[in-house]
């Protein structure tokens, strides 16, 4: 008997080395506390034990990087999840893998433990670009990781790629796309590099040889056209999938569905409340439940606005009637002028009940979403 349904995110805050562009909560050089982290995480998961168990249909291990934990610890976490939650038999169970901590035996063990989807951080198949990004692996190791996925028998997997990398050309990006497509991945996430405050890149931003606006646009267009010709659906601003292979876990975020996050810095949206764990591994190790704080209990109006801002990231867009039911008024009531401008500029379409960004709108989505939200 279950009374809820949610996705489950596990944040693993370990990395072999901090990448130059990364603003995620992750730490290098902390392998000594991985067992303590495991027991703290199991305690946090155990805190979700209910008489009527919470139903989970997607599990996503991210970070940081889960693969340094090794298959034994990752399997133990999955065992704890199965013990506490009601895990649907057809659940999507993903773990991210960094090529530097990958091996065929790791992937075989993950498959035996019940994982059925791998997300591998390739980023580029140019050693010069990987070095510029501060990635801890080579192009050959990234391609080996993709080969291991196939050899271990995973049918569902994703590769993360980047564009607008310092020194990247359209030719080198074309090569990365071709190299990765030769493994026929069911899913790809492709992100444009953003230089975020608090990163090593940000500290030396003026010295980086980043592509200019036109060059970046060329890289984006190359990505869209190459993947479209290869049969992928551009279903979210940065995500492409073969039919039936969208990332079900991430769809929960964009569709405003409930999810529970465990681990330091993990966020949750469950029982109508947004809450999070502070990003503090050492405090987490001794008292994992003490880090949690409530971010907010969103009002119906807040939720409607979030639904619009997240849903417009998807090609399917938003349902105007759902927005009306949630907020009590029409979408056009708050964003009428902005919506009209975006539609006439070709950035958005309104067809029947659906309002959605176009492919052109995806490229300038940050500006459009800011305009629609009145920021
Ligand atoms: S591997 Fe991923 S999480 Fe770790 S430092 Fe690099 S970008 Fe950040």
Q: Are residues 235 and 348 in the same domain?
A: no
Q: Are residues 245 and 323 in the same domain?
A: no
Answer whether 114's CB lies under 8 Å from 93's CB: yes
Q: Is 193 in the pocket of ligand 1 (CB under 6 A)?
A: no
Helix axes 213-229, 170-181, angle to 10 degrees: 20
Q: Is 133 in the pocket of ligand 1 (CB under 6 A)?
A: no
Q: Which of 130, 113, 125 is nearest to 67 (CA)?
A: 113
CA distance 185 to 112: 21
Measured CA distances, 279 to 12, 110, 140, 166, 228 (Å)? 11, 27, 33, 29, 38
Q: Is 19 in the pocket of ligand 1 (CB under 6 A)?
A: yes
Give the residue numbers spanning the domain of 375.
299-375
Domain endpoint, select from 224, 253, 282: 253
The CATH number linked to 352 is: 1.10.10.920
Q: Among 29, 31, 65, which residue has the most ligand 1 atoms within 8 Å of its CB, making it the best to mutate?
A: 65
Query: Hey, what's the torsion of the CAs at 52, 57, 61, 67, to 10 degrees?
Result: 110
Within a domain: residue 94? yes
CA distance 249 to 3: 19
Say how many domains are in the chain. 2
CA distance 298 to 272: 7
Q: Are residues 171 and 310 in the same domain?
A: no
Q: Is 56 in the pocket of ligand 1 (CB under 6 A)?
A: no
Residue nearest to atom 2 of ligand 1 (CA): 64
Q: pLDDT 10s per residue in the chain (375 long)?
A: 444 589 999 999 999 899 999 999 999 999 999 999 999 999 999 999 998 999 999 999 999 999 999 999 999 999 999 999 999 999 999 999 999 999 999 999 999 999 999 999 999 999 999 999 999 999 999 999 999 999 999 999 999 999 999 999 999 999 999 999 999 999 999 999 999 999 999 999 999 999 999 999 999 999 999 999 999 999 999 999 999 999 999 999 999 999 999 999 999 999 999 999 999 999 999 999 999 998 888 999 899 999 999 999 999 999 999 999 999 888 876 677 888 889 999 999 999 999 999 999 999 998 888 888 766
Within a domain: residue 270? no
Q: Are residues 87 and 229 in the same domain?
A: yes
CA distance 321 to 307: 12
Q: Is 100 in the pocket of ligand 1 (CB under 6 A)?
A: no
CA of 348 to the centre of ligand 1 (A): 33
Q: Are residues 244 and 154 in the same domain?
A: yes
Within a domain: residue 174? yes
Q: Is 43 in the pocket of ligand 1 (CB under 6 A)?
A: no
Within a domain: residue 126? yes
Q: Are residues 232 and 114 in the same domain?
A: yes
Q: Which of 211, 225, 292, 18 is nearest to 133 (CA)?
A: 18
Q: Is 15 in the pocket of ligand 1 (CB under 6 A)?
A: yes
Q: Is 64 in the pocket of ligand 1 (CB under 6 A)?
A: yes
Residue 2 is predicted with a pLDDT of: 43
CA of 97 to the centre of ligand 1 (A): 10
Residue 361 is predicted with a pLDDT of: 94
CA of 29 to the centre of ligand 1 (A): 13
Measured CA distances, 245 to 108, 157, 224 (Å)? 21, 9, 17
Within a domain: residue 374? yes
Q: How far is CA 151 from the centre of its chain?
A: 25
Within a domain: residue 211? yes
CA distance 179 to 320: 41
SS3 label, residue 115: coil
Within a domain: residue 19? yes
CA distance 84 to 75: 14
CA of 321 to the centre of ligand 1 (A): 39
Residue nearest to atom 6 of ligand 1 (CA): 19
Q: Ligand 1 atom closest to Cα of 22?
A: 8
Residue 375 is predicted with a pLDDT of: 64
Q: Is 63 in the pocket of ligand 1 (CB under 6 A)?
A: yes
Q: Are residues 212 and 308 in the same domain?
A: no
Q: Is 16 in the pocket of ligand 1 (CB under 6 A)?
A: no
Q: Are residues 98 and 214 in the same domain?
A: yes
Q: Are residues 303 and 201 in the same domain?
A: no
The CATH number linked to 56 is: 3.20.20.70
Q: Is 18 in the pocket of ligand 1 (CB under 6 A)?
A: yes
Within a domain: residue 287? no
Residue 1 is predicted with a pLDDT of: 44
Q: What residues contact residue 38 under an 8 Å CB cut-off, 6+ apart?
A: 69, 73, 76, 77
Q: Are residues 122 and 219 in the same domain?
A: yes
């Amino acid at each position: 008997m279950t009374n809820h349904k949610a996705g489950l995110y596990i944040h693993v805050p370990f990395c072999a080395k901090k990448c130059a562009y990364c603003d995620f909560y992750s730490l290098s050089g902390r392998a000594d506390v991985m067992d303590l982290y495991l027991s703290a995480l199991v305690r946090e998961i155990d805190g979700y034990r209910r008489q009527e168990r919470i139903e989970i249909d997607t599990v996503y291990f991210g970070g940081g990087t889960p693969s340094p934990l090794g298959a034994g610890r990752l399997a133990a976490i999955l065992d704890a999840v199965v013990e506490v939650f009601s895990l649907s038999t057809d659940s999507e169970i993903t773990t991210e893998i960094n090529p530097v901590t990958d091996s065929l035996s790791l992937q075989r063990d993950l498959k035996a433990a019940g994982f059925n989807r791998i997300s591998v951080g390739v980023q580029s198949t140019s050693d010069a670009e990987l070095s510029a990004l501060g990635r801890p692996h080579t192009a050959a190791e990234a391609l080996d990781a993709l080969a291991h996925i196939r050899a271990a028998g995973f049918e569902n997997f994703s590769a993360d790629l980047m564009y607008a990398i310092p020194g990247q050309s359209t030719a080198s990006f074309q090569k990365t796309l071709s190299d990765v497509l030769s493994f026929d991945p069911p899913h790809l996430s492709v992100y444009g590099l953003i230089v975020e405050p608090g990163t090593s890149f940000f500290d030396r931003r003026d010295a980086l040889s980043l592509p200019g606006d036109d060059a970046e646009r060329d890289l984006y267009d190359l990505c869209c056209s190459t993947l479209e010709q290869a049969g992928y659906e551009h279903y979210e601003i940065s995500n492409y999938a073969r039919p039936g292979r969208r990332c079900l876990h991430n769809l929960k975020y964009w569709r405003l569905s409930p999810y529970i996050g465990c681990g330091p810095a993990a966020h949750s949206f469950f029982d109508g409340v947004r809450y999070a764990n502070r990003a503090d591994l050492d405090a987490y190790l001794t008292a994992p439940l003490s880090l949690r704080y409530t971010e907010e209990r969103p009002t119906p109006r807040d939720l409607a606005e979030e639904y619009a801002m997240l849903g417009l990231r998807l090609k399917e867009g938003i349902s105007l009637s759902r927005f009306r039911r949630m907020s009590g008024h029409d979408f056009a009531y708050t964003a009428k002028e902005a919506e009209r401008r975006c539609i006439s500029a070709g950035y958005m379409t309104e067809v029947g009940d659906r309002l959605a960004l176009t492919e052109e709108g995806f490229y300038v989505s940050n500006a459009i979403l800011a305009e629609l939200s009145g920021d």
